[in-house]
Structure 1
Amino acid sequence: MRLLIVEDEEDMREALCYGLRRRGYAVDAAGDGTDAVEQCGINEYDLVVLDLNLPGLDGMEVLKHIRSMENPAKVLILSARSELADKISGLDSGASDYLTKPFHFEELEARIRMLLRRSFIQTEAALTRGGLCLDSNLKTAAFQGKQLEFSMREFAILEYLMIHMGRPVSAEELLEHVWDREADPFSNQVKVYISVIRRKLLAVTDEEIIRSIRGAGYLIDKEEPL
């Protein structure tokens, strides 16, 4: 999933980006409100972590801009403003969640997971199809109980396809949601990663779990009800 971290304190911004990237997220960053608005206009984010005390545009103005978009991202306000009135104002203005500073990174990441599950109509941490099971919390995968070793990027691709089971996902959509803004849209890196994931799946099952749909992308079929 692709996140935007909007935080003017450089050390905090870099620490958040580092920690979330290690958890497998594609992460972009903005140090002021104007930059955040510009990036939201260019890129499609699954979630924005938003500070309120920003140079340029205030965080509440950034939130207003995000809410006005056709497909608005989830917004988690992360702010030192801890008064009840501030929290109510942020939530009433369209924020999905509000976490005050100081905070524990583990709680922040748990809230991000919860909001992303809500975004994609996913109520359980475990994604399953047949013998394949992905744990979105632990970032682990198994087939019929046998652990599978995926890199964070490989897991993120497979997770995105599992969330969208039943419809083709284009390479462009995967680049938009699994890579950050450094991704090269003209490279074949999606194809390469899909090939690696398929090879690892074929080591445990003969089923073609990820199908290529000409002109549409990659598809994991939903299971037929028994």
Structure 2
Amino acid sequence: MKLLLIEDDAAMQATLQRSFERRGAQVVTCGDGRRALDRWQASQPDVVLLDLSLPGLDGLQVLAQARAAGLATPVLILTARGTVGDRILGLNTGADDYLPKPFDLDELEARVQALVRRQGGAAAAAESAREFCGLRCDPDSGAVYLHGQAMDLPPRELALLRALLARPGQAVAKERLFDLVFPGQADVQIEAIEVVAYRLRKRLAGSQAVLVTLRGLGYLLKST
């Protein structure tokens, strides 16, 4: 098992690295939010342990950018921010689990193992349903193909399509999509996602996939 530990506290980083390496895991570390996404893409971990209070770039921004880039690695947030609102925000941004500090190392290991097992089942399901209406997202490059031909899409439309393809036939919340399409852009209004959805809907015209707006819920892809 390979872990990516994104944590700026040197003592915490050393403790967790030593603990997981004793259990046979390979641990890659990063202490800077600005370098986290590059390290994530390069290391291809099985699980990411992510602190929220990072120098350079906040952990939630790192997570949002990773999801927008098509990185589906399970993420367990480790943070001193323990309020319910913080947990909800982290999960809505794309985290898979949340463990407030201080925590027990045995519980952390158990949660990591649970994420690995879950990812194994999800990978098998994704393999059997990786194509939807002729659309397929390459997990390595993040490119989307329609009937084998790469789609030439602007970055925001591509990010939106990738997010919807991850859950075809299921509604994805407007707020979640906004965070993936406009990561860390606090000056952009949430209504901007509607413009991106409108443009993507036009590009899908003629295919077997339809982008549907569910008022009050979000968006989904369905077959014609």
Q: TM-score, normalised by structure 1?
A: 0.51
The residue number in structure 1 matching 2:130 is 127
Note if contact 1:165-1:219 (Cα within 8 Å) is conserved in structure 2: yes
Identity of aligned residues (%): 20
Task: Give the counterpart of 1:95 among 103, 112, 121.
Answer: 112
Write the letter of the residue equivalent to 2:192.
Q
| 1:31 is aligned to 2:31 | no
Q: How does 1:198-213 map to 2 (within 5 A)?
A: 198-202=201-205, 205-207=206-208, 209-213=210-214
* 1:13-54 C-alpha deviation (Å, 9 max, x unpaired): 322246669xxxxx996228xx87xx79xx9x975477xxxx
| Higher mean C-alpha deviation, range 149-158 or range 128-137 | 149-158
Separation of aligned partners in 2, 1:153 and 1:20: 21
Task: Give the counterpart of 1:196 among 194, 199, 202.
Answer: 199
| Higher mean C-alpha deviation, range 123-132 or range 211-220 | 123-132
**Partner SS state of residue 142, structure 1:** strand
Q: How does 1:9-158 map to 2 (within 5 A)?
A: 12-17=32-37, 30-31=53-54, 48=75, 62=79, 73-74=95-96, 90-92=108-110, 94-95=111-112, 118=119, 121-123=122-124, 124=126, 127-158=130-161
Note if contact 2:135-2:147 (Cα within 8 Å) is conserved in structure 1: yes
1:220: Cα distance to partner?
1.0
1:210: Cα distance to partner?
0.8
The residue number in structure 1 matching 2:219 is 218
Separation of aligned partners in 2, 1:136 and 1:127: 10
1:8: Cα distance to partner?
4.8
Note if contact 1:135-1:141 (Cα within 8 Å) is conserved in structure 2: yes
**Partner SS state of residue 220, structure 1:** strand
Which consecutive unaligned segments of at least 5 residues does structure 1 have? Answer: 22-26, 51-58, 77-86, 98-113
Q: Which has the higher helix share?
A: 2
Structure 1 residues 177 and 90 mapped into 2: Cα distance closer, same or farther (>3 Å)?
A: same
Between Structure 1 and Structure 2, how many residues are aligned?
171
Separation of aligned partners in 2, 1:188 and 1:156: 16
Structure 1 residues 196 and 19 mapped into 2: Cα distance closer, same or farther (>3 Å)?
A: farther
Separation of aligned partners in 2, 1:212 and 1:170: 10
Note if contact 2:134-2:208 (Cα within 8 Å) is conserved in structure 1: no
Separation of aligned partners in 2, 1:15 and 1:167: 33
Structure 1 residues 213 and 31 mapped into 2: Cα distance closer, same or farther (>3 Å)?
A: closer
* 1:86-134 C-alpha deviation (Å, 9 max, x unpaired): x978523x2359xxxxxxxxxxxxxxxx97x939935346831121111
**Partner SS state of residue 170, structure 2:** coil
Q: TM-score, normalised by structure 2?
A: 0.52
